[in-house]
Structure 1
Amino acid sequence: MGARHDDHHHAPDGHGRALRLGVGGPVGSGKTALVAALCRTLGPDLSLGVVTNDIYTTEDADFLRRAGVLDPERILAVETGCCPHTAIRDDIAANLDAVETLEDRFGPLDLVIVESGGDNLTATFSRGLADRQIFVLDVSGGDKVPRKGGPGVTTADLLVINKTDLAPMVGADLGVMDRDAAAVRGERPVLFTSIREQPSAGAVASWVSDQVTAWSHTHATPAS
């Protein structure tokens, strides 16, 4: 896309544009449910946009539109046609175009959420696309998953371990998951949740809200 010298929200340093939040994780971990929860909880106070990624469909975007969590026009779908991590890490042009389309149409926005298609533990977002990253795991894979590490688990700004209500049914020890996640992540935060039982995802929404506030304080458009 060509340079836009009259438009501050595309500034490379982030001044005057929304915080861009990447949400990634394996298939079935609850990424779309988390995005829906964030829209429900944060939507009344923040101006939001969402970009979803699927390989050959618009399924996740369609789910969010049907759920009524946001004005449907504020939800855009990218069909990657390739491995999901390619579109969020290696060739981010389609996602950037979608983000900038939302900001052009509805800006100024406070937050744009970019949801990756389901991928493995190596999935990470390019920092040219996402300013903050959430990686979502769920307990159905067993309590050994966090200690396997991988860039998604170890480097995301927030690790969310979802579907805690399933732990007794799959024999997962949440204490073990908490210990192992801390061991591979150091000081980076980990939150446990069950979006089925807590549809507001309150703790995650509070973390995101704090990130938006910090971003707005440090990336306000410079006075002319």
Structure 2
Amino acid sequence: MRPSLAATAAQAAPSAARVGIGGPVGSGKTALIERLIPALTARGVDLAVVTNDLVTKEDAERLRRSGLIDPARVSAVEAGACPHTVIREDPTLNIVAGDELEARFHGLELILFESGGDNLASTFSLDLVDWWIFVIDVAGGDDIPRKKGPGVVRCDLLVVNKTDLAPHVGVDLDRMLAEARAVRQGKPVIATDLRAGHGVEDVADAIASAVLFRD
């Protein structure tokens, strides 16, 4: 339950779970959503997506053209400023976008909020999401976990993507994953190769376990 919306939600039907997906530019956020849509719908999850871009709707249009989801279920927010502003400092635009999707699609169970690409400091306001994922990739450097950025340390799930590139960019993947788990002090880390689909079911399982299908 989003604290600032508790009073409103208490008088309405149960709201859809809201999950944030953040990470640096090119880490694989949109690719993760493209893989999660069929994985979650196969589990019977009724979902929608809100994307955030600086001054375009590129990620939203990519998802709308994908054939994976009804285009009307993809809403686009143009941040017009540093991407983390609309998911952390003032998430009003995203809250409204999510509320509008829920009003249009009764029975909606899950909304995925994709942040615009940001650095390792990107975090989500808990007024906006119930649970959030941060995506990094091995091509960004195996020192990312050691830098202990707020996104890496604070997220509910860390996804380390593009594992297939590790031998080509001189990254010791096992060490990178071990360091990621160490700085996260037991919070989950999942390795993925989204091009091949590896690890996607694990991410879908983590979302379902955290915010869906609970008594």
User: Which TM-score bucket, shorter chain as reference?
Assistant: over 0.9
Native 8 Å contact 1:9 1:17 kept in 2: no
1:198 alignment counterpart: 197
1:11 alignment counterpart: 9
1:42 alignment counterpart: 40
Native 8 Å contact 2:30 2:59 kept in 1: yes
- Given the superposition, is the C-alpha separation of residues 168 and 9 from structure 1 closer, same or farther in structure 2, using an over 3 Å criterion? farther
2:3 alignment counterpart: none
1:210 alignment counterpart: 209
Q: What secondary structure, in the 3-state scheme, does the structure 1 residue paired with 2:100 have?
A: helix
Native 8 Å contact 2:23 2:117 kept in 1: yes
Deviation of 1:38 (Å): 0.8
The reply to whether residue 156 of structure 1 matches residue 155 of structure 2 is yes
Q: Which amino acid aligns with 1:113?
A: L
Q: How many angstroms apart in 1 are the aligned matches of 2:12 and 2:85? A: 23
Deviation of 1:212 (Å): 2.9
Q: Which amino acid aligns with 1:166?
A: L
Q: How many angstroms apart in 1 are the aligned matches of 2:93 and 2:68? A: 24
Q: How many angstroms apart in 2 are the aligned matches of 1:133 and 1:46? A: 18
Structure 1 segments unaligned to the other structure (5+ residues): 1-7, 218-224
Native 8 Å contact 2:146 2:183 kept in 1: yes
Q: Which amino acid aligns with 1:74?
A: R
Deviation of 1:203 (Å): 1.0
Q: What secondary structure, in the 3-state scheme, does the structure 2 residue paired with 1:172 have?
A: coil
2:63 alignment counterpart: 64
Runs of 4+ in 1 over 3 A off after TM superposition: 12-15
1:220 alignment counterpart: none
Structure 1 stretch 110-119 or stretch 63-72: which is displaced more?
63-72
Q: How many angstroms apart in 1 are the aligned matches of 2:63 and 2:109? A: 19
Q: How many angstroms apart in 2 are the aligned matches of 1:19 and 1:96? A: 12
- Given the superposition, is the C-alpha separation of residues 14 and 123 from structure 1 closer, same or farther in structure 2, using an over 3 Å criterion? farther
Structure 1 stretch 130-139 or stretch 178-187: which is displaced more?
178-187
Q: How many angstroms apart in 2 are the aligned matches of 1:43 and 1:182? A: 29
Q: What secondary structure, in the 3-state scheme, does the structure 2 residue paired with 1:90 have?
A: coil
Q: What secondary structure, in the 3-state scheme, does the structure 2 residue paired with 1:191 have?
A: strand
Deviation of 1:83 (Å): 0.4
Deviation of 1:13 (Å): 10
Say how many residue pairs are matched: 209
Structure 1 stretch 155-164 or stretch 60-69: which is displaced more?
60-69
Q: How many angstroms apart in 1 are the aligned matches of 2:15 and 2:62? A: 27
Q: How many angstroms apart in 2 are the aligned matches of 1:169 and 1:65? A: 33
Q: How many angstroms apart in 1 are the aligned matches of 2:206 and 2:179? A: 21
Deviation of 1:108 (Å): 2.2
Q: How many angstroms apart in 1 are the aligned matches of 2:39 and 2:178? A: 29
Q: How many angstroms apart in 1 are the aligned matches of 2:203 and 2:11? A: 26
Native 8 Å contact 1:191 1:204 kept in 2: yes
Deviations 1:51-103 (A, max 9, x none): 00000000000111111111100000000100000000011111001000000
Q: How many angstroms apart in 2 are the aligned matches of 1:74 and 1:142? A: 35
Native 8 Å contact 2:157 2:187 kept in 1: yes
Native 8 Å contact 1:9 1:103 kept in 2: no
- Given the superposition, is the C-alpha separation of residues 201 and 82 from structure 1 closer, same or farther in structure 2, using an over 3 Å criterion? same
Structure 2 segments unaligned to the other structure (5+ residues): 1-5
User: What is the RMSD of the two structures over their aligned residues, measured on CA atoms?
Assistant: 2.0
Deviation of 1:209 (Å): 1.6
Normalised to the residue count of structure 1, the TM-score between the two structures is: 0.88
